[in-house]
Amino acid sequence: MNQMRTALFLAKKDLYSELKTKQILVTQIIFAALVIVVFSFAFDPANNTTKAVIPGVIWVIIVFSGILGLNRSFISEQRNDTIQGLLVAPMEATSIYLGKFLANFTMMLIVELVSIPFLFLLFDFKFLGSIPYFILVIFLGSFGFIAIGTFLAALAANSKSSEMLLPLLLFPITTPILIGVVQATRIILTNMEKFSSALAWIQLVTAYDVIFFVVCFLLIDYVLEV
């Protein structure tokens, strides 16, 4: 598994530089907090009906702060043209993708770990459902979102206005994931009686994850050509 080793190496490099600069992660977390604040203006936290929008709010936070990180992941390589270095380095395009994916995914999970408890706290949300399944849904949803997001970020990085292009590419493609995870999260958080349909949604999201991870893996060679 030479490919995996180089991918881990690249992910380590990204995370290490993130640890030094703390640029992206801090921005993502502050942005997530700001989204929560904006939502508290939009939906009155004292109102009981607000509980119904919490599953949607969780995913809005993940998607919006995820976009910030995805935008940077390939753009940051452009400043010193290090992407050229990566491309000519003795590793395959798939390892670059895998490494970037692992780094983005780790950062996304950290953001979620901070922002979701923060959201529950501020909106005074009483957790009724099962925590393991909630974590599973969050994990699967972010996996698919970041997998396709990293791929499209590599694609959009070729454009001069990639920050504007990436959301336009990413949102329509990820609609199945967003529908699936929002429904699954709603069922798990509010009424566990309909758990079987939540399971169906989880299966759909898993299928999407697998299909698109494989497709991205096959097509990344064409995106990252010198």
Partner 1 sequence: MSMNLEREKEVLVGSQLAETKKLNLSSILYVGTVISMLVALYFIFIYAAEEKTMGAAQKIFYFHVSSAWLAFMAFFVTFVCSILFLIKRKRIFDTYAYVSAEIGVVFTIIVLTTGPIWAKSSWNTWWVWEPRLITTLILFFIYVAYIMIRQMDGVWDKKARLAAVFGIIGFADVPIVFFAIRWWQTKFHPIVFGDGPSQSGGGIEGTMLTALFVSLAAFTILYSYFLYKGVSFENMKIKVERYKEKLREDLDK
Question: In Å, what is the CA distance from 148 to each residue of 4, 29, 171, 177?
Answer: 19, 21, 10, 11
Closer residue to partner 1 (CB): 37 or 207:
207
Binding interface with partner 1 (CB under 8 A): 78, 81, 83-84, 87, 148, 151-152, 155, 157-160, 165, 168-169, 171-173, 175-176, 179-180, 183, 200-201, 204, 207-208, 211-212, 215-216, 219, 222-226
Residues 6+ apart with CB under 8 A from 15: 103, 106, 107
Using DSSP's 3-state secondary structure scheme, residue 91 falls into coil
For the CB of residue 39, give the shortest distance to partner 1 in the complex, in Å. 22
Closer residue to partner 1 (CB): 112 or 209:
209
| CA end-to-end span of the chain | 24
In whole angstroms, what is the distance from residue 158 CA to residue 66 CA? 20
For the CB of residue 45, give the shortest distance to partner 1 in the complex, in Å. 27
DSSP secondary structure letter of residue 126:
P
User: Among the residues of 43-174, which ranges form H helices?
Assistant: 54-75, 82-88, 93-122, 131-156, 162-173
For the CB of residue 89, give the shortest distance to partner 1 in the complex, in Å. 13
Closer residue to partner 1 (CB): 143 or 201:
201
Closer residue to partner 1 (CB): 32 or 154:
154
For the CB of residue 155, give the shortest distance to partner 1 in the complex, in Å. 5
Closer residue to partner 1 (CB): 85 or 117:
85
Residues 6+ apart with CB under 8 A from 72: 23, 24
For the CB of residue 46, give the shortest distance to partner 1 in the complex, in Å. 29
Identify the H or E element spanning 13. Answer: helix 2-21
Q: 199: how many CB neighbours lie within 10 A of its CB?
A: 14
For the CB of residue 200, give the shortest distance to partner 1 in the complex, in Å. 7
Closer residue to partner 1 (CB): 125 or 212:
212
